[in-house]
Structure 1
């Protein structure tokens, strides 16, 4: 659905190109007859404001109208009865819908994508199966909604962000290639990763094997005349004895 809003103090904008001009039915009747009203929010890149058909769906109600009506794509207009704010909860933080226009003649509640991303400092990535809402700075997933139809409804959020949040520091330690505690603390403080589980005090066996102190390499006075006259190599201790009974390897 495409429409244009009048700006305060200005005349009504010229209507957008007709989309449903072939329908002879008057607009309010068409909206009330075609489909039942759906309380679900839908992402809409063509909208120019948030729209909701029922003021009771909003968290804050102004009891006033910012605009008298909105224009639809076929040149018709529908009245605005109220204005308010709403919120969308996510696993990370609340996402705000500011200045939602209430108009009883719509059948789908619409989220103006541009305003949503600007007000919440986030991005929206659409794909064939749904969309992601991500924090703009950290690229952290705020929520994911799957879509099986032609629209992008804000439905029951995927459980993947919950798993993302519940990752412990020890799991991040393994995922990121065994960095030290100082590096992990820096990533958490910079909000690149999130940890809900307190790190348990344990000794990382991999770090013991891979990060133990090596003997220093001393300078050599050897003089060679041809390549490979002298080969320098490290002697390592294997934690597991080989099938031939060897414990050391080069």
Structure 2
């Protein structure tokens, strides 16, 4: 949903009156629908709701379009369920922790999904690795920077889960110190043992 009709193409008016209900319970009228096409976004069937204060994407609309929605503690990602390709990503909003912001999104059209098969040569040729493989290849690059490279098309079509929580190297690298070994010596009087943290 968007408040700006200027970013939509192929606008078409609705046959019947449609309203959307926002999170605070407000009911807003939908005036038309169109396609959102920019350098970062390609989304069919976007509703124009002039009363909105910000652009919103419905998770149910994305799942109905064949996408998998992945919300993480600090980021969000969208995958094409059929090809497992990453089709969108972005960080969690700092100002509004209940919202995730999209840096880019390319929702697969129904024509593209039904026309191409999983073994299509164009799909296979465009796949260059999984999100985790690129994370390792690029020296354990953080998820937001990696998503930026994917969005700009520098890594081709990236497959797989975008969560990096399973990376053992990143977890070990963020530890500030190793645990202390268990001591078996016990002091009998003051100053028998000197304890220091170097």
Shorter-chain TM-score: what band? 0.3 to 0.5
Between Structure 1 and Structure 2, the one with more strand by share is 2
TM-score (normalizing by structure 2): 0.45
Choose 1 or 2 for highest CA Rg: 1
TM-score (normalizing by structure 1): 0.37
